[in-house]
Structure 1
């Protein structure tokens, strides 16, 4: 079993557009996340796949029925923070309030405990390791907030590549990378999955499965199956390429991925890693 994860945010929440769209403008934007996430629930049901949905509190507060539908379908509801503010852009007290309030919001909607957290843009690193202590204090059992690669927006290349217990008492399950030719290659999905042909992504995933002692984990966003989403025309060429490349091919690629592997929640797949210490 591999872990299937969805970071539930809309196209206007993404870090690539944070300089173009203010959070105060979000209520005016055409919302696509609800319909896209329901489509994912249909696709997962068709392929008998279970997933962990890391939900923004902003989305959950406006669409509680969507959160309940995710939970009632047997998927795991987890936290992605409230409004996609990077952990590196928050003070310790702001972060503590964010992760605590979002966890309570999700638990109030579903009536079930929330165990997992993923920082927006994998934004826990050496500058804010205190975040793990705040996650532990808020009652989380695990985090999936680091990506041991070199990237211009995130990355902890010298941090562990396997799930490990943090000194603060919480498990960190980093995104999977493939060590190849002296390089740490990202193989966890996202924009790389849209960019590469499916046969190559599958080859890299299989190589990871054959070489790693840890389970595989894949991530993507509901907006990635939505080629009809509004275009942010004043964004940089780099940001537009990253966000829009191969959106029209994503649903077919995702269907193939769901068929080729067995998928379950982070809670189930990484169960031995995030039991209470």
Structure 2
């Protein structure tokens, strides 16, 4: 029996970072050691691109500038396969740890690298660890000033590392006249928002829970869902980091072997597309960033 698919597409997203760049592991992995670590991003991205192609899915890849500098072939493969390239900042620093000036430097550097390598305009941004909330909404102004059209950085949930539980669950503009915010999927239940957008929750809970939640969002809320995962989540053979606490170990390594098969089911049960196409109507009201001279030359060539 062929899978039952939603008519409208949901937004499929990948946060392109390697296992040693995860915020929760930062206390055990000095940033200065990144260049000495075994990098597994290329092989994992190859698997993801093959998985998407096999299931007819297109996605948005929120990519670190640090990764793009070192693996330009992977960046070009993403774009050549028909996916949207977007920014995850340069060095996976939480926005909550940056001043407005430092944040501007980080996202400007990342956007320049991604555009130069891909020959495409970078319109989207996702903050590392969803680190934009009520205390730093100024980040949306900086994103607009640096040419971004949308963000997917405010997670309307309670979490010990991030979250703005009172933020809207649907696409919105946190600042009047500002860029569009496209929140990760949540399910409204018992007066609170439950996270159902992917990541560790997707690995922890039975697949049927995610399938039910996404169908509910489509049928009852009448809006597309934004789903995310990381390349390291399909890599059960990644190096184990010593000295991390039990909660971090549980969250990071739980059910890694089950992730790829679950993703396959998810791609078969629902229609998936890029952020810029799923939310094209809402983005149409946001000024489109102009091509830089350098990008124009690459595109024409």
Q: TM-score, normalised by structure 1?
A: 0.98
Bigger Rg over Cα: 2
Aligned to 1:159: 167
Within a 5 Å distance, the mapping from 1:60-71 to structure 2 comes to 60-71=68-79
Task: Confirm or deny: 8 A CA contact 1:125 1:146 kept in the other structure.
Answer: yes
Cα 1:93–1:178, aligned 2, differ >3 Å: closer, same or farther? same
**Aligned mates of 1:26, 1:168 — CA distance in 2:** 39
Task: Confirm or deny: 8 A CA contact 1:226 1:248 kept in the other structure.
Answer: yes
TM superposition shift of 1:168: 5.0
Match of 1:14 among 3, 22, 26: 22
Mean Cα deviation higher: 70-79 or 208-217: 208-217
TM superposition shift of 1:183: 2.3
Report the number of matched residues: 277
Aligned to 1:46: 54
Aligned to 2:142: 134
Tell me if 1:212 matches 2:227.
no
**Aligned mates of 1:203, 1:192 — CA distance in 2:** 14
Aligned to 2:133: 125
Tell me if 1:102 matches 2:124.
no
TM superposition shift of 1:213: 2.9
Task: Confirm or deny: 8 A CA contact 2:217 2:224 kept in the other structure.
Answer: no
**Aligned mates of 1:233, 1:147 — CA distance in 2:** 30
Task: Confirm or deny: 8 A CA contact 1:191 1:242 kept in the other structure.
Answer: yes
TM superposition shift of 1:58: 0.6
Secondary structure at the counterpart of residue 135 of structure 2 = helix
Q: TM-score, normalised by structure 2?
A: 0.90
CA RMSD in angstroms, aligned pairs only: 0.9
Mean Cα deviation higher: 6-15 or 197-206: 197-206
Match of 1:90 among 76, 98, 103: 98
Q: What per-residue deviation string (whole Å, max 9, x for no partner) do you get for residues 59-90 of structure 1?
A: 00000110010001000000000111000000
Match of 1:198 among 207, 225, 232: 207
**Aligned mates of 2:190, 2:94 — CA distance in 1:** 32
Tell me if 1:260 matches 2:269.
yes
Match of 1:173 among 164, 178, 182: 182
Task: Confirm or deny: 8 A CA contact 2:94 2:127 kept in the other structure.
Answer: yes
Secondary structure at the counterpart of residue 128 of structure 1 = coil
Tell me if 1:3 matches 2:11.
yes
TM superposition shift of 1:105: 0.7
TM superposition shift of 1:217: 1.0
TM superposition shift of 1:181: 2.0
Unaligned runs of 5+ in 1: none
TM superposition shift of 1:209: 1.5
Could you list the runs of 4 or more consecutive aligned residues of structure 1 that deviate by over 3 angstroms after TM superposition? Answer: none
**Aligned mates of 1:130, 1:182 — CA distance in 2:** 28
**Aligned mates of 1:244, 1:227 — CA distance in 2:** 8
Task: Confirm or deny: 8 A CA contact 1:81 1:119 kept in the other structure.
Answer: yes
Cα 1:180–1:71, aligned 2, differ >3 Å: closer, same or farther? same
